[in-house]
Structure 1
Amino acid sequence: MQPSIYDFLFRFSAVLWEAMPFVVLGALIAGILEEFLPQEFLTRLLPKSVLPAVMIGAVLGLLFPMCECGIVVVMRRLLRKGLPLSCCIAYMLAGPIINVVVIFSTWVAFRDHKIGPEMVGFRVGMAFVIACATGLIVHLQYKKYGNALLTPLTAPPATPPSETNEAVAEQPRQPFMQRLGNISATALHDFVDIMVFLILGSVLAAFARMYITENEIEVISRDQPFLAIPAMMFLAVMMCLCSEADAFVAASFTKLHLSAKLAFLVLGPMLDLKLILMFTRVFRLRLIVTIATSVVILTLVLCIGLHLVYQANGWTGLPPSALASSTSP
C-alpha cells in the first residue's frame, strides 16, 4: 500500500509544481490586460467580412492569454461590447491554446523529448483550424436564430454601443494604485480559480497514471492507434486540466503516439466537464450541442489524418527516448 501512496504523491506533486509558474504568469498577464486594454478597441479593428474576422478572433489569445477557466467570462464581456458571436466563439476555443503562455509551456514540456517544435506547431495549427471552422458554423446558426442562441445574461444590451462607450468615457480616471489593486485582485481571483481545477486535474492525472501503465499505453498506441486517439479525447474531457498545465500531463505519456497526445492537448482546452457546465450560463442548449459536436468531430478527423500521414511516411510519432527504451533489451 505504501509504494502506491508514495507513487501517487510523487506524480501529483510533479504535475502541480511544474505547471505552477505558468499559471502564475498567465494570471498576472490576464490581470494587466483586463485593466489597461479597452475591450471596445477590438471591435473597431475587425474587418466586415466574416472569415477574416473569425480568423482574427482565433488569434485574440495573443492579446488576451487566458486559460479556459476564465476565458468564458472574458468572451461574454466581449460579446456584450459588440464583438460578433462567431469571433467570440473562435476566441473562446483557440484562446486557451494560441497564447504565449501555453505555447511556451508546451515547448518546455516536450523540449526534453526532442519534439517540442512539432507539438507546438501541430497544436496551434489544429486549434486555429478547429476554432475558425466552428466559428463559421456558429455564424450560420446565428443568422438563423440570432440572440436566441444566448442566455439573457449574455445577449448584447439594447443600448447602442456608442451610448455605452460615452457613459464609460465620462467616468473619472482611477488612480494608479487603485488600478494596481484591480490588477492584483483580478490576477489573484484567476489564480485561485485556476488552481482549484489544476489541483483536481493533478489528482485525477496521478490516479490515471497509477492504474494505466506505460506498457498498456504503448500497446494501445502501437496496435490500436485509432482507439488511442478517442481514448485520449475522452480522458481530456474527464480530467478538466488547465491549458497552462495539460502539456506536462501529456508529456508524461512518453510512449503514446504524437497524434493521440495532440487529441488530448487540442480537445481538452476547448471542451471538458467544467466548460460544459460554464457554457450553460452563457449559451442555449442548441449552441452548446453545435460547439461540442463540431469540436469533437474536427479534432478526431484531424488527429486521425495526421496519424495516417505519419504512418504513410514511416514516421514513428514517438520521442527518441521512447524509441530507445523500446529497442533496449
Structure 2
Amino acid sequence: MKDILDFILTFSSILWEAMPFIILGAVVAGILEEFLPQQAITKYLPKSVVPAVMIGAVIGLVFPMCECGILVVMRRLLRKGLPLSCCVAYMLAGPIINPVVMFSTGVAFWPHKIGPEVLGLRVGLGFVVAVVTGLVVQGLWVKHGRALLNPVALPPESKLSLPVTDAPAPRKPLSKRLGNISATAVHDFVDITVFLILGAVLAAVAKLYITQDQIQYLSREQPFLAIPAMMGLAVLMCLCSEADAFVAASFTNMHISAKTAFLVLGPMLDLKLLLMYTRVFRPRLIGVIVTCVVLQVLAYCYAVHLVYQMNGWTGLPPSS
C-alpha cells in the first residue's frame, strides 16, 4: 500500500510541477507562431555555424523556459526557420542558461558557501555541452537533412538555414490572431502532455527503488562512481531545472563534480524529455543527442573531479 501511495505522490508531483511550464511553453509557442515573422529568425543570425550555435545556446536569456516547456517553444522556432543546430543548442542550454534557473542555483547553494562555484560549473559546462552537441547535429543535418525530423516539426522551406521571403500577408483582426494562438497552444499542449504523463509514470516507478541514502553512500565509498550514479538519478527523477538545485544541495556529503553532473544532465535529458523528443526528432537524431550529451557530461565532470583532486580541494561545502 505504501508503494502505491509513494508512486501516486511522485507521479502527481512531477506532473503538476511540469504542467504550468508546459502551458506557458504552449502559449509562448502560439504567440511565436502567430506574431513572429519568418524572416526575423534568420535575419540577424550569423552566417558562420559556430557563432550561430553559440547564440542559440544563450537564447534562454531572451526566452527563459525550463525544460518542461522549452520543447514546444523550440519546435515552433524550428518551424519558423531557426537552424536545427541552433534549436538543439537552445533546447539543451535554455533550461540552464536563463535568469530564473541561475538565480535559483545560486540561492540553493549559497548557504553551503559554494554557490559561485556550482553556478559557474553548471552554466559553463551546460554551454559547452550544448554548443558541441549543436555542432555535431549540424554535421548530421548536412548529411541527412529533413529526414532527421518528424513531419510536425518540419519548417515549410526546404532549408532550415535560409530565410523565407514571402510577400507580406494581409493584416488579420485581433480576434482571428487570438483564435490562431489558442488553436496552436491547445494542439501543442495536448501533443506534448501525453508524453509528459508517460515519462512521469516511468520516473515514479524508478524512484520506488532508489533512495538518496544509497546515492550518498556511493559518493563516500566510490567517488568516481558517484558521477554516473547522479547522472542516472537526474534522468530518473525528472526534476524541473528551476528546483533541481535544491535537491542537489541536499546531498551535502557529495563531491561537487557529482552535483554538477546532476545539475547539467537533468535539464537536458530525463525520462519525460526522452519521450517528448520523439514528437520532434527521428530516432537517429535522438540517439546522437543522447550520446553526445551523456559522454560530454561524464567526461567534463570527471575532469572537474581530477582538477579538484590535483589541487587538494575537497569539493565539499566548507561547513562539512
Instruction: Quote the residue 2:47 is aligned against.
Output: 48
Q: 1:161 aligns with which of 143, 161, 164?
A: 164
- Displacement of 1:162 in angstroms is 2.3
Instruction: Quote the residue 1:147 is aligned against.
Output: 146
Matches within 5 A, 1:98-113: 98-113=97-112
Instruction: Quote the residue 1:327 is aligned against.
Output: none
Kept in 2, the 8 Å contact 1:204–1:239? The answer is no
Aligned Cα root-mean-square deviation (Å): 3.8
Are the structure 2 counterparts of residues 280 and 197 from structure 1 closer, same or farther at C-alpha, using a change threshold of 3 Å?
closer
TM-score by length of 2: 0.80
Instruction: Quote the residue 2:83 is aligned against.
Output: 84
Q: 1:241 aligns with which of 236, 239, 242?
A: 239
Q: Distance in 2 between matches of 1:199 and 1:273?
A: 8
- Displacement of 1:196 in angstroms is 7.2
**Which amino acid counterpart does residue 212 of structure 2 have in structure 1?**
I
Instruction: Quote the residue 2:309 is aligned against.
Output: 311
Instruction: Quote the residue 1:252 is aligned against.
Output: 250
SS in structure 1 opposite 2:90? helix
Q: Distance in 2 between matches of 1:139 and 1:320?
A: 43
- Displacement of 1:254 in angstroms is 1.3
Are the structure 2 counterparts of residues 208 and 242 from structure 1 closer, same or farther at C-alpha, using a change threshold of 3 Å?
farther
**Which amino acid counterpart does residue 318 of structure 1 have in structure 2?**
L
2:224 matches 1:221: no
Are the structure 2 counterparts of residues 29 and 319 from structure 1 closer, same or farther at C-alpha, using a change threshold of 3 Å?
farther
Q: Distance in 2 between matches of 1:128 and 1:243?
A: 15
Matches within 5 A, 1:170-319: 170-172=170-172, 174=174, 211-213=211-213, 216-319=214-317
- Per-residue displacement from partner, 1:32-73 (whole Å, max 9, x unpaired)? 796487364332121000000000000001111111122111
Instruction: Quote the residue 1:73 is aligned against.
Output: 72
Q: Aligned residues, how many?
A: 306
Where does structure 1 lack aligned partners over 5 or more consecutive residues? 324-329
- Displacement of 1:272 in angstroms is 1.1
Instruction: Quote the residue 1:128 is aligned against.
Output: 127
Give the fraction of aligned pairs with identical amino acids, expressed as a percent.
57
**Which amino acid counterpart does residue 229 of structure 1 have in structure 2?**
I
- Displacement of 1:170 in angstroms is 2.1
Kept in 2, the 8 Å contact 1:57–1:91? The answer is yes
- Per-residue displacement from partner, 1:139-163 (whole Å, max 9, x unpaired)? 1111111111111111221488222
Are the structure 2 counterparts of residues 205 and 152 from structure 1 closer, same or farther at C-alpha, using a change threshold of 3 Å?
closer
Kept in 2, the 8 Å contact 1:109–1:248? The answer is yes
Q: Distance in 1 between matches of 2:284 and 2:199?
A: 29
SS in structure 1 opposite 2:236? helix
**Which amino acid counterpart does residue 165 of structure 2 have in structure 1?**
S
SS in structure 2 opposite 1:161? coil
- Displacement of 1:222 in angstroms is 3.3
Instruction: Quote the residue 1:63 is aligned against.
Output: 62
Are the structure 2 counterparts of residues 112 and 198 from structure 1 closer, same or farther at C-alpha, using a change threshold of 3 Å?
farther
Q: Distance in 2 between matches of 1:315 and 1:137?
A: 34
Are the structure 2 counterparts of residues 115 and 27 from structure 1 closer, same or farther at C-alpha, using a change threshold of 3 Å?
farther
Q: Distance in 1 between matches of 2:123 and 2:59?
A: 13
SS in structure 2 opposite 1:162? coil
Q: Distance in 2 between matches of 1:155 and 1:269?
A: 24
Deviates more, 1:136-145 or 1:238-247: 238-247
**Which amino acid counterpart does residue 285 of structure 2 have in structure 1?**
L
Kept in 2, the 8 Å contact 1:39–1:78? The answer is no
- Displacement of 1:200 in angstroms is 7.5
Are the structure 2 counterparts of residues 114 and 196 from structure 1 closer, same or farther at C-alpha, using a change threshold of 3 Å?
farther
Where does structure 2 lack aligned partners over 5 or more consecutive residues? none
- Per-residue displacement from partner, 1:3-43 (whole Å, max 9, x unpaired)? x99xx8xx98xxx7xx97x9979976995796487364332
Kept in 2, the 8 Å contact 1:79–1:156? The answer is yes
Kept in 2, the 8 Å contact 1:217–1:255? The answer is no
Deviates more, 1:102-111 or 1:38-47: 38-47
Q: Distance in 2 between matches of 1:63 and 1:244?
A: 16
Instruction: Quote the residue 2:93 is aligned against.
Output: 94
